[in-house]
């Protein structure tokens, strides 16, 4: 099994973190950096792992870009075209949550940061208010994407152990129900945890 995630490209990870530290990224620059990060991971991590027969689990995917860009005001068609080189995932598991349940988890975890709170959009009078508004808009976008793309919804308000057990059940069920070997396909149009099975 192989796993990958947002901004984990050895080529772009440091560049993205440095750019975000300046708090002055435009949606276009933001999108191009993330697309480059994903393209590097796709060519050097995801495709080689699939060809070697591994199951690839991705922490988030291009749906994250679709949702964030929409909230930041980018043209959805432009975003879909930008990430049109992505592979079509075999399975997408969406950890569905509402803002009221999300806030305490974030506060007991890493806390609220500038970008995850949407401070670049000036949505609120303080970071807490901005976080609630920004994440609420993101959740609305994810819910729309879940309907449009047929995500499997997992109630993320449950205890963590229950969420993990449910995720394992879905993945095991999928892997156990198919003997086919999906081709490595490119997305030709619009494409939180996708799973692909290699040869």
For residues 173 and 183, give the distance between their C-alpha atoms in angstroms, rounded to a whole number: 20
For residues 152 and 164, give the distance between their C-alpha atoms in angstroms, rounded to a whole number: 14
Kindly report, residue by residue over 83-108, the tens digit of the pLDDT. 999 998 999 999 999 999 999 999 99
For residues 134 and 29, give the distance between their C-alpha atoms in angstroms, rounded to a whole number: 19
* Range 73-83 average pLDDT: 94
> Quick check: 129 pLDDT over 80?
yes
Confidence of residue 5 (pLDDT cuts 50, 70, 90): low
CA 105 to chain centre: 18
Give the 3-state secondary structure of residue 68.
helix
Contacts of 71 (CB under 8 A, 6+ apart): 118, 121, 134, 137, 138, 141
Task: Please give the domain boundaries of the chain with CATH numbers for all domains.
Answer: 2-197 (3.40.50.300)
Please give the pLDDT value at position 153: 97
Please give the pLDDT value at position 125: 84
- Convert 89-126 to b/e letters by CB count within 10 Å (16 or more is b): bbbbbbbbbebeebeeebeeeeebeebbbbbbbebbee
Kindly report, residue by residue over 152-194, the tens digit of the pLDDT. 999 999 999 999 999 999 999 998 886 544 444 444 333 355 5
Q: Give the torsion sign (CA, 19, 45, 109, 128).
A: positive
- 154 has which bridge partners? 95
pTM: 0.79
Please give the pLDDT value at position 34: 86
Are the beta carbons of 88 and 187 closer than 8 angstroms?
yes
């Amino acid at each position: 099994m192989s796993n990958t995630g947002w901004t984990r490209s050895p080529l772009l990870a440091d560049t993205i973190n440095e750019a975000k530290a300046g708090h002055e990224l435009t949606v276009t620059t933001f999108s191009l950096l993330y697309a480059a990060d994903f393209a590097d991971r796709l060519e050097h991590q995801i495709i080689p792992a699939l060809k070697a027969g591994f199951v690839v689990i991705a922490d988030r995917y291009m749906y994250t870009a679709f949702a964030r860009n929409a909230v930041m005001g980018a043209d959805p068609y432009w975003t879909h075209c930008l990430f049109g080189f992505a592979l079509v995932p075999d399975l997408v598991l969406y950890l569905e949550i509402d803002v009221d349940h999300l806030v305490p988890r974030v506060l007991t975890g890493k806390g609220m940061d500038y970008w995850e709170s949407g401070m670049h959009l000036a949505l609120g009078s303080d970071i807490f208010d901005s976080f609630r508004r920004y994440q609420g808009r993101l959740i609305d976008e994810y819910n729309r994407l879940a309907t449009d793309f047929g995500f499997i919804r997992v109630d993320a308000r449950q205890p963590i152990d229950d969420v993990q057990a449910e995720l394992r059940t879905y993945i095991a069920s999928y892997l156990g129900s198919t003997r086919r070997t999906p081709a490595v396909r490119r997305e030709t149009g619009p494409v939180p945890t996708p799973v692909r099975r290699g040869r």
